[in-house]
Amino acid sequence: MNPDVQARLDRLKLTPIDGQALKKLVEAGLTWLRANQQMVNALNVFPVPDGDTGTNMVLTMQSAYNEIDHIGQRGIGQMAAAVSQGALMGARGNSGVILSQLWRGFARALHNHEILDGPALVHAFAEARDTAYKGVVRPVEGTILTVAKDAAAAAAQAIQETDDPCEILARVVIEADASVQRTPELLPVLKQAGVVDSGGKGLYFILEGMLRFVHGEPLDTPTATVQPLSAMNLENTMDSIEPGQDYEVVVDFVPREKLDLQKFYGELEKIGTSIQMGEGEGMYRMHIHVPTEKRYEPIDFVMSLGTITKIAMENLLAQMEGIDHKSSGARVELANVEPGKIAVVVVSPGAGISRVFASLGVAAIVEGGQTMNPSTKDILDAFENLPTDKVIILPNNKNIILAAQQAKDVTVKKVYVVPSCSIPQGLAAMMHLNPDGETEAVAAKMSKAIDDVTTIEVTTATRTVEIDGVSVEQGQVIALVNGKLAISAATVEEACLGALAHAHADDYELITLFHGEGLPTTETNRIVDVIRAAYPAQEIELQDGGQPHYQFIISIE
The one-letter amino acid code at 155 reads A
**545-to-96, 312, 356, 480, 517 alpha-carbon distances in Å:** 27, 31, 9, 17, 7
Residues 159-214: tens digit of each pLDDT = 999 999 999 999 999 999 999 999 999 998 888 888 899 999 999 999 999 999 99
Quick one: pLDDT band at residue 48, thresholds 50, 70, 90?
confident
Measured distance CA(297)–CA(111) in Å, rounded: 51
DSSP 8-state symbol, 472: E
Q: Judge residue 130's burial from the number of C-beta atoms within 10 Å of its C-beta, 0-12 exposed, 13-18 middle, 19 or more buried.
A: middle
Contact assessment for residue 513 and residue 497, using Cβ atoms and an 8 Å cutoff: no
**98-to-143, 404, 405, 540 alpha-carbon distances in Å:** 10, 13, 12, 41
Q: How many other C-beta atoms can be found within 10 angstroms of the C-beta atom of residue 373? A: 29
CATH match of 3-220 with 1.25.40.340: yes
| Chain centre distance of CA 307 | 36
Q: Calculate mean pLDDT across residues 65-81.
A: 93
Helix (H, G, I), strand (E, B) or coil at 305: coil
* pLDDT at res. 506: 94
Q: How many other C-beta atoms can be found within 10 angstroms of the C-beta atom of residue 357? A: 25
* pLDDT at res. 279: 73
* pLDDT at res. 455: 97
Residues 509-554: tens digit of each pLDDT = 999 999 998 789 999 999 999 999 999 999 999 999 998 889 999 9
Question: Does the predicted TM-score (pTM) go above 0.75?
Answer: yes
Q: Judge residue 181's burial from the number of C-beta atoms within 10 Å of its C-beta, 0-12 exposed, 13-18 middle, 19 or more buried.
A: middle
Residues 490-508: tens digit of each pLDDT = 999 999 999 999 999 999 9
Measured distance CA(295)–CA(314) in Å, rounded: 10
Measured distance CA(403)–CA(421) in Å, rounded: 13
Measured distance CA(147)–CA(143) in Å, rounded: 7
* pLDDT at res. 14: 41
Q: For the domain covering 329-452, report its CATH number.
A: 3.40.50.510
Report the largest interatomic distance among the alpha carbons of the chain, rounded to a whole angstrom: 80
Contact assessment for residue 388 and residue 338, using Cβ atoms and an 8 Å cutoff: yes
Domain 229-324 CATH class label: alpha beta
Measured distance CA(157)–CA(118) in Å, rounded: 12
Sequence ranges of the domains in the chain:
3-220, 229-324, 329-452, 454-556
Quick one: pLDDT band at residue 232, thresholds 50, 70, 90?
low
Q: Calculate mean pLDDT across residues 140-161.
A: 96
Q: Judge residue 332's burial from the number of C-beta atoms within 10 Å of its C-beta, 0-12 exposed, 13-18 middle, 19 or more buried.
A: middle
What is the average pLDDT score of the chain?
87
Q: Calculate mean pLDDT across residues 29-44.
A: 87
Interaxial angle between packed helices 198-215 and 19-35, expressed in degrees from 0 to 180 and rounded to the nearest 10:
120
Q: Calculate mean pLDDT across residues 428-457.
A: 96
**Residue 430 clears pLDDT 80, i.e. is over it:** yes
Q: For the domain covering 454-556, report its CATH number.
A: 3.30.1180
Measured distance CA(12)–CA(21) in Å, rounded: 9
Quick one: pLDDT band at residue 332, thresholds 50, 70, 90?
confident
* Residues present in the chain in total: 557
Share of the chain above pLDDT 90, in %: 61
Measured distance CA(184)–CA(162) in Å, rounded: 32
Measured distance CA(398)–CA(264) in Å, rounded: 38
